[in-house]
Chain A
Amino acid sequence: MSGAVRARAGLAVLAAWGAIALAAPLLPLRDPNAQPDGLVLRTLPPMSRVDALVATDGSVRYAHELRRDPDGGLSFRRGETWTKVSEPGVTPARALFVLGTDSYGRDLLSRLVWGARVSLVAGLLAALVAVVIGGSVGLVAGLAGGRVDAILMRATDAALAIPRLFLLLLLAALFRPSLATTVVLVGATTWMAAARLVHGEVLSVRERDFVAAARAAGASPVRLGLRHVLPHAAAVLGVEASLRLGQAVLLEASLSFLGLGVPPPAASWGGLIADGRDRLLDAWWIATWPGIALAGVVIAASLVADGARRRI
């Protein structure tokens, strides 16, 4: 596979997950957080079919077994007890759980899809925060030069040397975890690469004629930076943003896995893996699907970044 094909495949994977995440409310999925029947539905393996009873109002009851009584009525079994269906209009059905269920009987397919919303939104916003912070630091340092430049870039180097997860744990201990804090914290600890890249780009265009011309024409420092210098760093920033997206999704997942990210019952991929951790021995599927989805998104993001880098 050539680089361009790989980049396109990565883009397709990202676009597909983005579309799935956007369309989640429209898809015919069960409620991701509902626990309709812990007894019948808990830890069903993938592709399980379960007997169900659909009432006239569309509500569904699940059962271990259904039977026709001699009098033509319908009975269902949950655990050891048989119950006769008394209300009229109830029809038997078979419910399919494509990816299985977790230990509370929640549908893993809908949790995976709704989890994509949380994980991808968190990753995207965190990547944005990182690129904006890093881009500003790099731009200001490069344009200001001298002592400001030295201090800002030293601070960037120093920030790179701090083990990120330890700092994130400290922050999680101090600030109550939520989607917003997770996004800000992940962004605020991953901006350094963007700062270095933009700094390098700014240094290479700072002395060019068009910058001098703009300055001579009386452009303010802000206008100079945003309108004349920043566009030249846009390509590098784009590559960094796609790379950062994958890493931010991973970092959010690590935090959620540790129980310090997006709080439950909201499904995020890291949280789903954490759910499956305790059932690893008897229900491998709970942790497996979100792991594959996560790795897929990260690989796709790095393929896209590789492809974009090759083009510039």
Chain B
Amino acid sequence: MLGLVGRRLLSGIPLVLGVVTLTFLLVEAAPGRPVDLLLGDGPVPPETRARIEAAYGLDRPPLARYLTWIGHAARGDLGWSLSRGRPVSRVLADALPPTLGLAAGALAVELLLGVAVGACQVIRRGGALDAGLSVAGLVLASAPTFWLGLMAILLLAVAVPVFPPSSAHSIGAAAWSFPARLADGVWHGVLPALVLGVPSAAVIARFLRAGLATALDEGFVLAARARGASRLRVLAAHALPAALGPVITLAGLQLPMLVSGALVVEVVFGWPGMGRVTYDAVLASDLPVVLAAVLLATVLVVAGSLLADVGLALADPRVRTHRASSR
């Protein structure tokens, strides 16, 4: 298991390095010079321009700046946010917990709802409930996330005011005790997490339905049924574990989409996470924050897919032995 973690960590390093290089090359290839973003549109005397370029190290050759950027990023120094006047690492450190909370909530919705719906469909295979859930899943997985978010606000926060429509905390919550603040944050996160998680849950349900249907026709399920195991037991204890492996892999593969989707959901719901910060930074031409956010989002995905692999190895012994024997 430790070997698996180590190998995956090592394979993640070139990927992160590749992303750093790619983003750097993109900035170099973009029209205009970075200093123009700093100076805005007004007329600036050439000597001021040169002084600012020198102050930010923008007058040095690209390779030197590339090596500096990698060296600093490796030590956790991601530069200075131009629009917020704070170190980028502090800006992102503030934005990371809300995003992780949102992603965790969405992942819980994705897996729990996806497995529950998929199992329901298999129990009622071929019936009206099965067909109805299939159609609902197709619609939910196809609708744009931001539109789902707006409709959720319209229906569940305005027409029937169950959930708060926006932001991550109530007005005046800063003065509350920590548990009250936490509960308040979770309460505000329910709707965003649902909007982010439900479309992925639909995909999971579809795969689980297919996987369970296949597993139910297998010999070991037949054997369990012949021994007189109840329907529920056959489904939960025999078929489900066999069908769960692909679902975990799928959830891991969907992580980049989840992180991307979180960006849109955060913008729609005014959720103060990484997506919101990145979006504001793009609008403010705050390049250091955008670069660092792309990097951090990639690291999150790599870490997440590592967790998915470990989860897969824990859930399915065949994966462990296969990996070990193929080494």
Contact = CB atoms under 8 A, between A and B. Distances in A.
B257 to A, nearest CB: 8
A114 B147 CA distance: 19
A146 B80 CA distance: 43
Interface string A270-312: 1001001100110010011011001100110010000000000
A174 B27 contact: yes
A291 B154 contact: no
A273 B268 CA distance: 11
Given A161-B302, A174-B30, A280 B142 contact: no
A173 B285 contact: yes
Nearest to A1: B131
B14 A170 contact: no
Interface string A238-267: 000000001000100110011110000000
A169 interface: yes
Contacts of A288: 151
A298 B267 contact: no
Contacts of B89: none
A172 B31 CA distance: 12
Counting chain A CB atoms within 10 Å of each CB, the highest count among B23, B145, B147, B158 belongs to B147
B294 A167 contact: yes
Interface in B127-165: 138-139, 142-147, 150-151, 153-154, 158
B15 interface: yes
Contacts of B193: none
A174 to B, nearest CB: 4
A271 B166 CA distance: 21
A312 to B, nearest CB: 18
A254 B145 CA distance: 8
Given A287-B150, A291-B147, A291-B151, A258 B267 contact: yes
B143 A298 contact: yes
A294 B278 contact: no
A158 interface: yes
How many interface residues does chain A have, given as a range? 35 or more
A160 interface: yes
Nearest to B253: A160
A3 B81 CA distance: 53
Interface stretch (B71-79, B232-240, B258-266): B258-266
B201 interface: no
Contacts of A161: 15, 256, 298, 301-302, 305
Nearest to B19: A162
A181 B148 CA distance: 26
A158 B302 CA distance: 10
How many interface residues does chain B have, given as a range? 35 or more
A134 B283 CA distance: 31
A250 B297 CA distance: 21
Given A160-B256, A173-B285, A166 B291 contact: no
Contacts of B282: 169-170, 172-173, 260
Contacts of B264: 165, 254, 257-258
Given A161-B298, A162-B19, A280 B158 contact: yes
28 contacts: A158-B14, A161-B15, A162-B294, A163-B297, A164-B256, A165-B260, A165-B264, A166-B259, A166-B263, A166-B293, A166-B294, A169-B279, A169-B290, A169-B294, A254-B144, A254-B146, A260-B282, A270-B144, A280-B153, A280-B154, A281-B154, A287-B150, A290-B147, A291-B151, A295-B143, A298-B143, A299-B139, A302-B142
Interface of B: 14-15, 18-19, 23, 26-27, 30-31, 138-139, 142-147, 150-151, 153-154, 158, 256-257, 259-261, 263-264, 267-268, 275, 278-279, 281-283, 285, 287, 290-291, 293-294, 297-298, 300-302, 305
**Which 10 pairs, one residue from A and one from B, show the smallest C-beta to C-beta distance?**
A165-B260, A174-B30, A291-B147, A298-B142, A295-B143, A163-B259, A173-B282, A163-B297, A299-B142, A166-B297
